[in-house]
Amino acid sequence: ELLGQDYINQTLRAKGVFTNSVINHRLDITGLDAEDNRNTNNIRFFRDNKILYDKPEEYAKNIWKHQATNAIRGVGYINSKDSLVNQPFDFAGKNFYTLKDMEGTLQRIIFPEFFPLAQRFDIKDGDYAFLKKCMSDLPKSYSFYKNNPEYYDSYVKFFMFGDSKDAIPDDIKIYNKVGTAYGYLIDCAYIENTTKDIGFFLTAVIHVNKNKIYNDGKYEYNEIGLPFMGKLGKAVYDYELSRMK
């Protein structure tokens, strides 16, 4: 809403972050078509009744679409009227974030010094520290989640611990971003053991939609997706441990 399609996509492409990725619509806002999403609203920030920042309305000049193949999926979907439509679901107009681009984004956050200045994010050292803290914090780090059993350590830590609600050891830090939508389960992470001096990037997606119907809320996240992510993370972690010998 604040930046708009053109700025987001042009800037991330210029930095080499986006190769075939596209951001072209708001998240979880229904009732907007492709044309609506090209428009962004006037946004103002105030302090003591004084305007600090005033962004005018904008309209994206470019039409942003990804070039992903196999964008037509499944055999049906639930539409906005909660009715089943017996035809494949079209992802061609959806946001698209490749695993390569996703991991490249995280690499720029964890190790910005390994990228040319032109390919880094324009943020300060304090911003990097804050971002990494937020990405690695567990729910119990925050008072409003600490005593809530629904928000266990692995609530958004799919790799290694996605198949368990046990506490994550203090010497394992996971800087990550997960996603769940349309039966896709995604995790992009940098995992390190601070006592054994190992660290690695791991990014993966698994699709769990047995009935091939989208938007019906019937996905095998708990039965298949999370156990797979947990085992995958453990397998790579154990491999990294074995390389230390």
DSSP letter for 193, please.
E
DSSP letter for 194, please.
T
pLDDT on residue 236: 98
- Model confidence at 208, in pLDDT bands (50, 70, 90)? very high
80-84, 107-111, 223-227: segment of lowest average pLDDT: 80-84
pLDDT tens-digit series, residues 59-73: 999 999 998 888 999
CA dihedral over 203, 209, 214, 217, signed as positive or negative: negative
- Model confidence at 31, in pLDDT bands (50, 70, 90)? confident
Q: How far, in Å, CA of 174 to CA of 159, rounded? A: 9
Q: Got the DSSP string for 201-228?
A: EEEEEEE--TT-EESSS---IIIIIHHH
- Model confidence at 146, in pLDDT bands (50, 70, 90)? confident
Q: What is the mean pLDDT of the chain?
A: 95
Is the pLDDT at 111 greater than 60, yes or no? yes
pLDDT on residue 245: 57
Q: How far, in Å, CA of 240 to CA of 245, rounded? A: 10
CA-derived radius of gyration, the chain: 20
CA dihedral over 70, 95, 225, 201, signed as positive or negative: positive
Q: Which of 147, 183, 179, 145 is nearest to 162 (CA)?
A: 179
Q: Spell out the domain ranges in the chain.
A: 65-242
- Model confidence at 30, in pLDDT bands (50, 70, 90)? confident
Q: How far, in Å, CA of 203 to CA of 103, rounded? A: 6
Q: What is the mean pLDDT of residues 96-111?
A: 98
The half-sphere exposure of 154 on its side-chain side, counting CA atoms within 13 A, is 19
Query: Could you give the strand order of the β-sheet that contains 172-181, starting from the edge strand earlier in sequence?
Result: 172-181, 184-193, 198-207
